[in-house]
Structure 1
Amino acid sequence: MHRVLDRCHRTLFAALSLIGVRGQERLLHWYFDWWHRRPDPWGLAVDEYEQFKYATTLEQLPARHYGRILDVGCSEGAFTHRLAAAYPHADVTGADISERALARARTPVPGPAPRFVRLNIVTAPPADRFDLVFCAELLYYLGRPRQLRRACAHLTAAVAPGGLLVLVHPWPEARRFCAYIEAAADVRRVTEHVERGTGRPFAVSVYEAAATAGRHAAGHRAAGRLARPGRQTGRGA
């Protein structure tokens, strides 16, 4: 049943992407504000599967210093606050398209306080660069290749030279998103964990940006050349 619902979900958002970038932005803004009419609509702060996925994601990170961290598609900030607790000396930012979700994310909680900003990753990259960028359960909302190319180019542009980009998406669909990332910039995959031990398999794919200043311009050129990603980039755990 879950797979059937997922398929219907993907079909809906693929259809929405046909109206163009600006129209899609308005609809997604409305859609996620509507979902967030009540707190934590997907149970991200309490669901056992989500908590397991958060812990699994953090386990894949190399042990290093991360001065600036970005969580793209943060919703009400459940994972963003977890990042702030795990890296208390880092400057942690959560970004989302829904203003209603961000208003709840800004509610004070014990511990380090992240900051939260509104962002549509399709229309614009973040204003700054970060040592660690997360994008989880987001890319399948974007539908068409054009939007995916733009979003992935903006994600990779947000990563500081030598920084990490972490994708977390359902498996094996994650393979398709990885192909866009690998075409968007000079990045290399440093690790990938595929979790099959749940009824909803997912992949955590970690990429490292090249430590060169000119990689972003090359990345945007590569993004424009990618029409249909054909490579399978995922591999088993």
Structure 2
Amino acid sequence: MGSQGKTVFRRSPVTRFPDILHRALFKSFSLLGRRSQGAVLRRYFDWWHRRPDPWQLSTDTYEQHKYQTTLEQLPDAAYRRVLEAGCSEGVFTELLATAYPDADITGVDISEKALERARLRNGEFADRVRFVHADILDHDLQAGFDLVVCAETLYYVGGGDRLRHASHRLTSLLAAGGILVLVHPWPEARRLHRFADAAPGLSKIGERVERDAHRPFSVSLYRAARESRTVS
């Protein structure tokens, strides 16, 4: 697997009206206090996962293409500790566990219902894959991950200070030289990834923009500085 350090431009993206409504709903949640927002999101996503695989992550060809594109961009490395933030039911977690058989992997999600299914899906990897019920805005995970992946998640936290805080929390989990991967709809990714773009001690090493999908997306890659650093 190798990182491609250039942006690939194809057709122009089309903003879908359901996506606009979706963003507006979660923007309104971000007006609440951080704890209240977290409580609302937990209830919402537990309700959303009342039925298995509500986004059809395991079967949808678009989602499978996005997963494969993300894996193809990862730099070749022996990742020992991997974190997936917003893992949902563990579909991509399973792909990570298969691609990196020597890695210890942690999946994090705000929905316990989703995590119950993630544990079942990844049962064969139970000796090295664990799932943690937590909010990326408020967690007690220990730093030192060689790879941190966050896909289709940052638009749920809101904008401004909330987005800055979430980006910094993700960045602070990296080991020296670790890789952060952010995957979000394009061109919204420009806004969602802007704090990672500007983070001290973090260098952008690649970006792939898929414009030929019915829902264009960006895979952005960052590398933490080799020396120790502090991220606020």
Report if TM-score (shorter chain) is over 0.5.
yes
TM-score (norm 2): 0.89
Deviations 1:45-75 (A, max 9, x none): 1111000000000000111110111100000
Is 2:94–2:121's contact at 8 Å kept on the other side of the alignment?
Answer: no
Larger RCO of the pair (alpha carbons < 8 Å, separation 6+): 2
- In structure 2, relative to structure 1, the CA distance for the partners of 1:108 and 1:8 (3 Å cut) is closer
Say yes or no: does 1:31 pair with 2:31.
Answer: no
Deviations 1:128-163 (A, max 9, x none): 320000000000011131211111110000111100
Mean CA deviation greater in 111-120 or 29-38: 111-120
Query: How many residues are paired up?
Result: 217
Is 1:153–1:185's contact at 8 Å kept on the other side of the alignment?
Answer: no
Is 2:205–2:223's contact at 8 Å kept on the other side of the alignment?
Answer: yes
1:1-237 matches, within 5 Å, as 3-107=16-120, 109=122, 111-113=124-126, 114-124=129-139, 126-213=141-228, 215-216=229-230, 219-220=231-232
The Cα shift of 1:207 comes to: 0.2
Is 1:70–1:94's contact at 8 Å kept on the other side of the alignment?
Answer: yes
Is 1:131–1:164's contact at 8 Å kept on the other side of the alignment?
Answer: yes
**Identity across aligned pairs (percent)?**
54
The Cα shift of 1:108 comes to: 5.1
Q: For the residues of structure 2 that align with 1:12 and 1:145, how far apart are their CA atoms? A: 16
Is 1:139–1:148's contact at 8 Å kept on the other side of the alignment?
Answer: yes
The Cα shift of 1:2 comes to: 6.7
TM-score (norm 1): 0.88
Q: For the residues of structure 2 that align with 1:52 and 1:181, how far apart are their CA atoms? A: 24
The runs of 5 or more residues in structure 2 that have no matched partner are 1-13
Identify the structure with the greater helix proportion: 1
Q: For the residues of structure 1 that align with 2:188 and 2:125, how far apart are their CA atoms? A: 34
Q: For the residues of structure 2 that align with 1:83 and 1:185, how far apart are their CA atoms? A: 28
Q: For the residues of structure 1 that align with 2:198 and 2:139, how far apart are their CA atoms? A: 18
Is 1:125–1:157's contact at 8 Å kept on the other side of the alignment?
Answer: no
The runs of 5 or more residues in structure 1 that have no matched partner are 221-237
